Amino acid sequence: MTTEKTYKVPTMADMAASGEEPEILFWVGCAGSFDDRYKRVTIAFVRILNHVGIKFAVLGPEEGCTGDPARRAGNEFLFQMQAMSNIQVLNGYNVKKIVTACPHCFNTLKNEYPELGGNYEVIHHSQFLQGLINEGRVRVKDGESFKGRRITFHDSCYLGRANKIYEAPREVLAALDADLVEMKRVRANGLCCGAGGGQYFKEPEPGKKDVNVERVEEALGTGADTIAVACPFCMTMMSDGVKNKNKEDSVRVYDISELIAQGQGL
Amino acid sequence: MEIFQQILFVAALAAVAWYITKRIQLISRAIKLGRAENRTDHADERLKTMLLVAFGQKKMFTNPLVGVMHFIIYAGFIIINLEILEIILDGVLGTHRLFAPYITPVYPFLINIFEILAFGVLAVCVVFLCRRFVAKVSRFQPERHREMARWPQTDAAIILTAEILLMIAFLTWNASDSVLRDRGVGHYGELQGIVPDFIISQYLKPLFAGFNDTGLVAYERIAWWLHILGILAFAVYVTYSKHLHIALGFPNVYFSDLQPKGEMQNMPEITKEVQLALGLPVTTEADGSQTNDNGEQPSQSAGAVDSPAEIGRFGAKDVQDLKWINLMNAYSCTECGRCTAACPANITGKKLSPRKIMMDTRDRLEEIQQGWKTNGPDYRDDKSLLNDYITAEELNACTTCQACVMACPININPLDIILQLRRYRVMEESQAPASWNAMFSNIENNMAPWKFSPSDRFNWADQVND
């Protein structure tokens, strides 16, 4: 993107060196840092943060896996090693408020770190974006038009059932001028993409079908041209499912922050 | 004759009370096999949850039609039991409709309510039998769900049929009694003018028109006895059946999880190990108690850091390693299968079924009880819940999506058991799938579940202005 604007990504180390404290720490997560597809989500979110002028920072190379997949797979030692190391870093920078685009990181930081000494206000980027939209700080009008497009939102388990966040991502999408269509299994009854609990990191057990295919069939059934997600694992699973159905030319999978960034022309 | 009936009745009542007490003791001993955990905190919230979810049946109304039908049986169960009080007192005292002369104005009103409910229960039980055996609702079918084969299906049929028979006995007893009253036979006639016909059973009176007085009294007695003995027998049966949920559902909801569904329970015994390994001050005791504000250990556990108390197993291999609430969950499960119908793994044909996890846990507990019976109360066999009942393939299929936990109408948590069994397999047996081991070592060495260099973690920022 060759705009007049230059996006900046300050690290906590930079901030600390100049004696500053950010309003909020953006926890990028492993997928947001390494996965080529999800890096684009990280970048979209960072552009929005820059655009609205929020003083944020990231940990950069000091960030490490929250330990969520290890814990769910049964490796409590590894989880707690990760958690303790991260908490040392976070507490060392006196972090108070965290935003993340990964529901797994969100759930772990919010619900599981306090007992190990990490107490922060943790919000998911869907809630954060919802706040920006409600405050009028994000207006979707300068960029791409969504008129006539059909979007369906896929609930992530660790956002929805795990933490009862069902409306925030939907309200974010409502800011776009698109048709929102719902699948049959939504909100508390939402069907998993198939990646949670460490499944992302192994082949599925023998069965009739892959979970992501089952879910994508349901999403395609709505006639949506866009499947919106709010989780890096859901992103991969839904994208793979769309490919499995040979629909990658007509149906796209986007994170909610990418859609907002597109709407803003960022 | 009357006194003989009274003696028989009191004897039956005492025998059932004794037997059920033994059953309760046995089941409670089985539940106490589980690990201790405090579930008496936040009494207000627990009470509120129990009122909404157990008494109010909130989660049953996800499907409103089924919710209403189940509510009819539930209300029938609770309210018709008020009539049992009179029946029992009549049985003990040798009286007939003891309360009628004392509460004459409201008596017919009460009996009419019981009759309407009884008719409702009967009708719903017929519908439920049809749903299971004629319409073949998928979650009940053994062809689709192997854990439903044989006994669970029979159990369901016995429960529904027993309830239908009990309601028929109750309604025809009232009808035959009404006819006897009309005819002024013996003490039945004494209530003439005090007790009128009832709202449902009045339509059954023609059935008894052809009976002579002796035959009618015989039917009235048989129906009365069948009804009350049926209830007593059913009460005993319930303790062996999935139908135990009618009693345990309430405490089960009261003691259910209050934390967010996504939160996995911490293992304080590991926190200590990790803190020692990282050279951090130890802040947690193995029993989960926190240190005081100065970071000192409470005095009674001083020295615990140097000589750690014996650490049990990591995770769970058998029912003793689970928490007591997991075991109460297992006894409360009525095998409705809403969890399994919502499970993404099960929907897509994997072996995992959350309902089977609960049924296996109960079956294992009952196997242990059987061992106590034949070999004494300290008997331990060499079987375990893991492997003998629940296989690695089932555990490994779980996405931890919590759909099963959300679906359960009485807040049972199959996921908690799955995760504890996984912990045992990984930490005690090192039995993770190879690709999980690779993921573990990546996290350990690269701080990410993939094989990327930690120093590349921030490279994405180079593309932010592309």
For residue A179, the distance in angstroms to the closest alpha carbon of chain B comes to 27
Q: Is pLDDT at B304 greater than 80 in this prediction?
A: no
Name the token pair of A24. Answer: 């909020």
Q: Is pLDDT at B305 greater than 70 in this prediction?
A: no
Q: Which of A34, A202, A205 sits opposite B448 (nearest CB)?
A: A34
What are A206-250's pLDDT values in tens digits?
999 999 999 999 999 999 999 999 999 999 999 999 999 999 999
For residue B131, the distance in angstroms to the closest alpha carbon of chain A comes to 23
Q: Which stretches within A146-231 are classed as H helix?
A: 167-174, 211-221
Q: Which stretches within chain A are classed as H helix?
A: 12-17, 29-34, 36-52, 68-73, 76-92, 103-107, 125-134, 167-174, 211-221, 232-244, 256-264
Q: Is pLDDT at B264 greater than 70 in this prediction?
A: yes
Note the maximum CA span of chain A: 57
Average pLDDT over residues B416-434: 97
Q: Is pLDDT at B296 greater than 80 in this prediction?
A: no
- List beta partners, residue B418: none
Non-local (6+) Cβ contacts of B249 within 8 A are: B54, B332, B334, B410
Average pLDDT over residues B208-234: 96
Let me know if B127 is exposed, middle or buried by CB neighbors in 10 A (0-12, 13-18, 19+). middle
Q: Is pLDDT at A70 greater than 70 in this prediction?
A: yes
Report the pLDDT value the prediction gives residue A175, as an integer from 0 to 100. 94
Q: Is pLDDT at B11 greater than 60 in this prediction?
A: yes
- B351 chain-A contacts, CB cut-off 8 A: 205-207
Q: Which of A39, A76, A107, A212 to mutate to test the interface with B (most CBs of B within 10 A)?
A: A76
Report the pLDDT value the prediction gives residue B345, as an integer from 0 to 100. 98
Report the pLDDT value the prediction gives residue A11, as an integer from 0 to 100. 97
Instruction: Characterize the bridge pairing of strands A150-153 and A179-181.
Output: parallel
- B277 chain-A contacts, CB cut-off 8 A: 81
- A107 chain-B contacts, CB cut-off 8 A: 260, 262-263
What are B120-164's pLDDT values in tens digits?
999 999 999 999 999 999 999 999 999 999 999 999 999 999 999
Report the pLDDT value the prediction gives residue B125, as an integer from 0 to 100. 98
Task: Measure Cα distances from B310 to B16, B207, B215, B291 in Å.
Answer: 44, 72, 72, 19
Instruction: Calculate the average pLDDT of chain A.
Output: 96
* Domains of chain A and CATH, by start: 12-130 (3.40.50.1860), 142-264 (3.40.50)
How far is it, in rounded angstroms, from Cα B342 to Cα A185?
10
Average pLDDT over residues A191-216: 97
A·B CB contacts under 8 A: 222
Q: Among all residues of chain B, which has the CA nearest to that of A64?
A: B447
Report the pLDDT value the prediction gives residue A174, as an integer from 0 to 100. 95
Q: For this complex, say whether ipTM is above 0.90.
A: yes
3-state SS, residue A209: coil
How far is it, in rounded angstroms, from Cα B22 to Cα B173?
32
Q: How many residues does chain A have?
A: 266
Q: Tell me yes or no: is domain B313-446 CATH 1.20.1300.
A: no
Q: Is pLDDT at B408 greater than 50 in this prediction?
A: yes
Q: Which of B404, B458, B459, B466 to mutate to test the interface with A (most CBs of A within 10 A)?
A: B458
